[in-house]
């Protein structure tokens, strides 16, 4: 202060002094002015809303209009002694009380005793209680009767940011006015007027950063503007504002989001690096990113986004250009990733990594094919395959019925009515030496009489099949070898062999080393080998089928797996 005068901050210097200067609360100003003009001024008012939106300023303006020396009018003159005293806070008839520090019942009793007296030189005694929700329960109770039937010369004006904490008995005795958050454009307009009066050179984008820092509060925006002027002087650059306030440059957000939609992972990570180098808080950056993508989503979803979004006209034009090549679904899928990442940042040890992972996922998202387009492709596929051969699996189903019937017939034949006299089709008495087929019929015969023994024999290899002798080999160390070497098992199988061959037959069990003998395959091994060969043939047939080729052409896909059901 080179001239010796005390500096007055912008929030106080440019505090509204009349209803016309009150920015963003036109609905409140009009209602109060109409009430004053019509003589319908209530005895108690309750002003509610976020911080810094003009509640206390409106209370002072209301006090000036009621006590102005010119007369009760909808605009104070701001020149008479009463208006000047109220503006300076020295009026003996206007009490401005802080509810946080004067919240006891004794404070309210003293107030109640003082308001009985007539005002000293004004029309009304006006009681302004800021943060009224901080009063204690006893203090509210002491105020109730006076609030309901106050003296004619007393007006109460309460202000609070948390009206839900007030007792219903208090709310019912007041006229309530809800103050709105000031829109971004109105804050910028007011800051532009103040910048002109202060002879400050500043761009609209920088004012936008300051206004966005205020988050709907005119007072907070003015405080931030004061801080910027103290740092930059009369010439303010966008970079200085972004660095000082710790806000994210909208151009950087636009560059990163463009890189996301282009799949440019290099550009995405470079943007995060720039954010980290400047020292921005990663969670705040993620929140700004969410807000940016939310704006894009609104633009792609509604016809008149300017009625919903709280952004400047220049920002709206930029967002319109960026949203031309994306769909609402594209934006929504990426917005979901950022919202999830923001919730994880609250307790993250590596916030930059979480943001980078979310941005990389958003960049590498595969495009979704619209369902209508898929339906059209399916119709094309159906049309193209009308005259093509049957699918391999359909041929398999058609052939399965006769095979099942044949298998059922064979199974029926292996149930002899008299085991000692087996059916000629099943009993290989005429060919006792037999082959792999004879071994298979024998195992099938055992299965029909004892499933448990048959399950063990399926894993054995027929080493010898001679008249009066069956020699079976099992893998060394296997469970099946241990089970087959049991004396009771061998005795049961010998009895079944005698019934099967029609003569005395000895059963021997041997241990064989895997890969060291030329023993024939067991039935289980043969079945596994046949299944693998069948699946390989089915896979080749499916891959080379005309229907599959057409599906690959239409949908741009490939066969990755073939399963048989």
SS (H, E, C) 268-304: HHHHHHHHHHHCCCHHHHHHHHHHHHHHHHHHHHCCC
* Local structure of 126: helix, strand or coil: strand
Residue 4 is predicted with a pLDDT of: 54
Residue 532 is predicted with a pLDDT of: 85
Residue 398 is predicted with a pLDDT of: 46
Average pLDDT in the chain: 83
222 and 84, same structural domain? no
Percent of the chain with pLDDT over 90: 28
The structure tokens listed for 352 are: 């930059």
Residue 72 is predicted with a pLDDT of: 82
369 compared with 74, residue with greater pLDDT: 74
DSSP alpha helix (H) spans, 417-464: 436-449, 451-457
Lowest-confidence pick of 55-64, 250-259, 383-392, 526-535: 383-392
pTM for the whole structure: 0.61
Residue 526 is predicted with a pLDDT of: 85
Place 382 in a pLDDT band, splitting at 50, 70 and 90.
low
Percent of the chain with pLDDT over 70: 87
Place 176 in a pLDDT band, splitting at 50, 70 and 90.
very high
**Exposed, middle or buried: residue 76 (CB in 10 Å: 0-12, 13-18, 19+)?**
buried
Average pLDDT over residues 38-60: 91
307 compared with 432, residue with greater pLDDT: 307
**Exposed, middle or buried: residue 6 (CB in 10 Å: 0-12, 13-18, 19+)?**
exposed
353 and 241, same structural domain? yes
Question: Does residue 547 lie within any of the structural domains?
Answer: no
Lowest-confidence pick of 162-176, 196-210, 409-423: 409-423
Question: Does residue 537 lie within any of the structural domains?
Answer: no
With a cut of 70, say whether residue 506 has pLDDT above it.
yes
Indicate the Cα dihedral angle 73, 75, 81, 83, nearest 10°.
Answer: 120
Angle of the 351-363 helix axis to the 265-278 helix axis, nearest 10: 150
For 108-128, write each residue's pLDDT tens digit: 888 888 888 888 888 999 999
Average pLDDT over residues 434-454: 81
Average pLDDT over residues 160-171: 91
Place 369 in a pLDDT band, splitting at 50, 70 and 90.
low
Return d(Cα 493, Cα 348) in angstroms, integer: 68
Kindly report each contact of residues 487-495 with a partner whose C-beta sits within 8 Å and lies 24 or more positions away, as own/partner.
Answer: 489/453, 489/456, 492/450, 492/453, 493/446, 493/453, 493/457
Phi-psi region of 178 (alpha: psi -120 to 50; beta: other; left: phi over 0): beta
With a cut of 70, say whether residue 410 has pLDDT above it.
no
User: How far apart, in Å, are the Cα atoms of 299 and each of 158, 211, 285, 303, 331?
Assistant: 40, 22, 21, 7, 10
Average pLDDT over residues 136-162: 89
Calculate ∠ Cα 266-270-272, nearest 5°: 120
565 compared with 51, residue with greater pLDDT: 51
154 and 218, same structural domain? no
CATH no. for residue 314?
Answer: 1.20.272.10
| E strand or H helix at 218 | helix 218-232
Residue 413 is predicted with a pLDDT of: 43
For the beta carbon of residue 120, count every other beta carbon within 10 angstroms.
9
Domain edge (last residue) among 180, 213, 228: 180
Terminal CA-CA length for the chain: 89
Question: Does residue 213 lie within any of the structural domains?
Answer: yes
409 and 358, same structural domain? no
Return d(Cα 262, Cα 363) in angstroms, integer: 7
**CA-wise closest residue to 306 among 416, 153, 185:** 185
* Local structure of 201: helix, strand or coil: strand
Average pLDDT over residues 311-329: 86
Average pLDDT over residues 89-97: 88
The count of structural domains within the chain is 3
Place 370 in a pLDDT band, splitting at 50, 70 and 90.
low
Give the total residue count for the chain. Answer: 565
Question: Does residue 534 lie within any of the structural domains?
Answer: no
347 and 217, same structural domain? yes
Dmax over CA atoms of the chain, in Å, equals 137
With a cut of 70, say whether residue 433 has pLDDT above it.
no
Residue 408 is predicted with a pLDDT of: 45
261 and 143, same structural domain? no
With a cut of 90, say whether residue 297 has pLDDT above it.
yes
Place 400 in a pLDDT band, splitting at 50, 70 and 90.
very low
Place 429 in a pLDDT band, splitting at 50, 70 and 90.
very low
471 and 327, same structural domain? no
Return d(Cα 48, Cα 53) in angstroms, integer: 10
215 and 130, same structural domain? no
With a cut of 50, say whether residue 397 has pLDDT above it.
no
* Local structure of 215: helix, strand or coil: coil
Average pLDDT over residues 399-412: 45
229 and 147, same structural domain? no
358 and 425, same structural domain? no
Return d(Cα 368, Cα 112) in angstroms, integer: 69
With a cut of 90, say whether residue 245 has pLDDT above it.
no
Return d(Cα 174, Cα 43) in angstroms, integer: 8
The residue range of the domain holding 160 is: 10-180
Question: Does residue 117 lie within any of the structural domains?
Answer: yes
* Local structure of 160: helix, strand or coil: strand
Residue 403 is predicted with a pLDDT of: 42
* Local structure of 349: helix, strand or coil: coil
Check residue 328 and report its DSSP letter: H
400 and 317, same structural domain? no
**Exposed, middle or buried: residue 418 (CB in 10 Å: 0-12, 13-18, 19+)?**
exposed
Indicate the Cα dihedral angle 237, 238, 243, 244, nearest 10°.
Answer: 60
Return d(Cα 367, Cα 354) in angstroms, integer: 23
């Amino acid at each position: 202060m080179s001239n010796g005068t005390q500096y007055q901050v912008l929030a106080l210097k440019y505090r509204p002094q009349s209803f016309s200067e009150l920015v963003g609360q036109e609905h409140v100003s009009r209602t109060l002015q109409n009430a004053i003009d019509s003589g319908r001024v209530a005895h108690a008012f309750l002003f509610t809303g976020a911080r810094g939106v003009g509640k206390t300023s409106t209370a002072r303006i209301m006090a000036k209009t009621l006590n102005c020396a010119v007369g009760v009018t909808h605009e104070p003159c701001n020149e008479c002694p009463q208006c000047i005293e109220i503006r300076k806070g020295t009026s003996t008839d206007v009490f401005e009380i802080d509810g946080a520090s004067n919240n006891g019942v004794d404070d309210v009793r003293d107030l109640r005793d003082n308001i009985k007296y007539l005002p000293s030189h004004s029309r009304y005694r006006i009681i302004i209680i800021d943060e009224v929700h901080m009063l204690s329960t006893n203090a509210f109770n002491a105020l109730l009767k006076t609030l309901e039937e106050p003296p004619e010369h007393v007006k109460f004006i309460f202000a609070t940011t948390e009206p839900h904490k007030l007792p219903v008995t208090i709310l019912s005795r007041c006229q309530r006015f809800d103050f709105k958050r000031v829109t971004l454009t109105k804050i910028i307009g007011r800051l532009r007027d103040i910048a002109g009066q202060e002879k400050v050179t500043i761009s609209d984008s920088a004012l936008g950063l300051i206004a966005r820092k205020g988050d709907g509060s005119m007072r907070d925006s003015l405080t931030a503007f004061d801080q910027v002027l103290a740092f930059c002087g009369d010439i303010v650059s966008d970079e200085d504002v972004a660095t000082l306030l710790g806000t994210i440059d909208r151009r950087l957000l636009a560059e990163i989001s463009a890189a996301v939609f282009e799949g440019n992972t290099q550009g995405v990570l470079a943007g995060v690096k720039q954010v980290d180098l400047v020292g921005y808080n990663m969670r705040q950056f993620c929140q700004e990113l969410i807000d940016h993508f939310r704006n894009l989503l609104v633009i792609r979803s509604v016809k008149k986004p300017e009625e919903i979004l709280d952004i400047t006209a220049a920002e709206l034009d930029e967002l319109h250009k960026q949203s031309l090549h994306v769909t609402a679904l594209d934006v929504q899928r990426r917005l979901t990733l950022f919202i999830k990442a923001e919730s994880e940042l609250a307790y993250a040890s590596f916030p930059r990594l979480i943001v980078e992972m979310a941005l990389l996922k958003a960049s590498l998202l595969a495009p979704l094919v619209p369902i209508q387009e898929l339906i059209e492709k399916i119709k094309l596929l159906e049309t193209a395959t009308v005259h093509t051969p049957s699918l391999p699996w359909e041929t398999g189903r058609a052939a399965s019925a006769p095979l099942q019937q044949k298998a059922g017939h064979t199974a029926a034949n292996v149930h002899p009515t008299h085991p000692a006299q087996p059916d000629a089709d099943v009993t290989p008495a005429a060919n006792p030496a037999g082959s792999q087929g004879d071994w298979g019929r024998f195992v099938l015969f055992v299965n029909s009489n004892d499933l448990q023994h048959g399950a063990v024999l399926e894993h054995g290899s027929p080493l010898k099949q001679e008249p009066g002798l069956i020699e079976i080999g099992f893998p060394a160390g296997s469970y099946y070898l241990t089970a087959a070497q049991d004396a009771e098992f061998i005795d049961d199988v010998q009895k079944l062999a005698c019934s099967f061959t029609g003569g005395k037959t000895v059963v021997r069990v041997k241990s064989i080393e895997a890969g060291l003998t030329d023993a024939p395959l067991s039935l289980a091994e043969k079945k596994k080998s046949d299944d693998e060969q069948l699946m390989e043939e089915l896979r080749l047939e499916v891959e080379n089928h005309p229907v599959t080729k057409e599906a690959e052409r239409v949908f741009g896909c490939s066969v990755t797996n073939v399963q048989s059901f």
